Structure 1
Amino acid sequence: MAPVVRAAINPGAGPVRTCVGCRQRTAKSELLRVVVGPGPDGRPAVVPDPAATAAGRGAHLHPTVECYELAVRRRAFSRALRVKEGLHNVPVGEYLATRATDQ
């Protein structure tokens, strides 16, 4: 039996995660982690975790508006975070919008 050969992104780059928007595998350090947290109205929402220190299950996303919109269109946040009810994703969109204007 032949050994399984797996393609490495960059072995020295550290852990690799998949973006929930575009589904591309990328180094964890290049992605924004998002988790379920309280939204502005107190209901569960997808919130950014830029320090990647929040407890609980997280998902990763390229910090671009394009990947965010793909994730919203595909309803990827609730699937990746394993939440049955609909999540508000406005906090992540606002975070990305302010980050884009800062650059």
Structure 2
Amino acid sequence: MSGRTRVHACPQRTCVGCRKHSGKGDLLRVVLMGERCVPDLRGTLPGRGAYVHPVQECVDLAVRRRAFQRAFRAPGPLDTAELRTTPLATP
């Protein structure tokens, strides 16, 4: 016995809205396409990703704090309308 466990660690990410740590699977990945913030529901879109909890409060907080601009290192305002219209959390 080597003493190693077979439990796989879940990658941790920080929500750009509330700044709390959560497992990668519990967060929504958002990518930048041109000037638009697009939800990456499958997690396969190319480019830098920012993670946010899939609840409207965290998305609103991230937009208000300009967290997406900082995460993507973008100079100007970003279009986040698609994040606001996407059904985020399922009841």
Does the alignment pair 1:48 with 2:39?
yes
Q: Structure 1 residue runs of 4+, over 6 Å off?
A: none
CA distance in structure 1 between the partners assigned to 2:63 and 2:30 by the alignment = 13
Q: Specify the SS of the correspondent of 1:71.
A: helix
Which of 8, 11, 22 is equivalent to 1:26? 22
1:13 and 1:27 in contact (8 A); partners too: no
The alpha-carbon distance between structure 1 residues 99 and 19, as it changes in their structure 2 partners (threshold 3 A), is closer
2:50 aligns to what? 59
Paired positions, count:
85
Matches within 5 A, 1:1-103: 12=8, 14-38=10-34, 44-95=35-86, 98-100=87-89, 103=91
1:34 and 1:60 in contact (8 A); partners too: yes
CA distance in structure 2 between the partners assigned to 1:15 and 1:51 by the alignment = 16
CA distance in structure 2 between the partners assigned to 1:67 and 1:99 by the alignment = 11
Q: Specify the SS of the correspondent of 2:70.
A: helix
Q: CA RMSD in A?
A: 1.6
Query: Greater helix percent: which structure?
Result: 1
Using structure 1 for the length normalisation, give the TM-score: 0.76
Using structure 2 for the length normalisation, give the TM-score: 0.85
Identity over aligned pairs, percent: 47
How far residue 99 of structure 1 moved from its aligned partner, in angstroms, is: 3.9
The alpha-carbon distance between structure 1 residues 24 and 84, as it changes in their structure 2 partners (threshold 3 A), is same
